[in-house]
């Protein structure tokens, strides 16, 4: 069986302020060298098909070393309803950030 996740990828410049000028080439290289990435997202990094990509952290950590001036922004949406997150990869390092769901406190003035 296994656990399926939908992935998408953006390639940004290192400070995350703009799309990397070589984003398309970087995504193409990843898809050419990684079967799971090729299956998971299309040539633009958009979600293509859910997949079982268990080693994405180790694989993207290594891949990011090839492009130290790029920030790889991977979005994941797992099959559990509360499993969505971002992982940021740059030059062999990773930051994982799960989503947080917040609800407003009760406010009687909001009652309609």
pLDDT at residue 1, as a whole number: 78
pLDDT at residue 76, as a whole number: 98
pLDDT at residue 70, as a whole number: 98
pLDDT at residue 20, as a whole number: 98
Task: DSSP for the chain, please give it.
Answer: ----EEEEEEEEETTSSSB-TTHHHHHHHHHHH-HHHHHHB-TTS-B---B--TTHHHHHHHHHTT-TTEEEEEEEEESSTT-EEEEEEETTEEEEEE-----PPP-GGG--
Sorted by where each begins, the domain ranges of the chain are: 5-101
The tens-digit pLDDT sequence of the chain (112 residues) is 799 999 999 999 999 999 999 999 999 999 999 999 999 999 999 999 999 999 999 999 999 999 999 999 999 999 998 899 999 999 999 999 999 989 999 999 999 8
pLDDT at residue 56, as a whole number: 98
């Amino acid at each position: 069986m296994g656990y399926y996740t939908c992935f998408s990828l953006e390639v940004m410049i290192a400070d995350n302020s703009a799309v990397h000028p070589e984003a398309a080439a970087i995504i193409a290289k990843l898809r050419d060298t990684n079967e799971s990435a090729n299956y998971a997202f299309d040539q633009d990094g958009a979600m293509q098909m859910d997949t079982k990509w268990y080693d994405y952290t180790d694989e993207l950590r290594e891949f990011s070393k090839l492009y130290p001036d790029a920030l790889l922004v991977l979005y994941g949406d797992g099959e559990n309803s509360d499993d969505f997150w971002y992982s940021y990869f740059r030059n062999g390092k990773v930051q994982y950030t799960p989503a947080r769901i917040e609800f407003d406190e009760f406010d009687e003035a909001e009652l309609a």
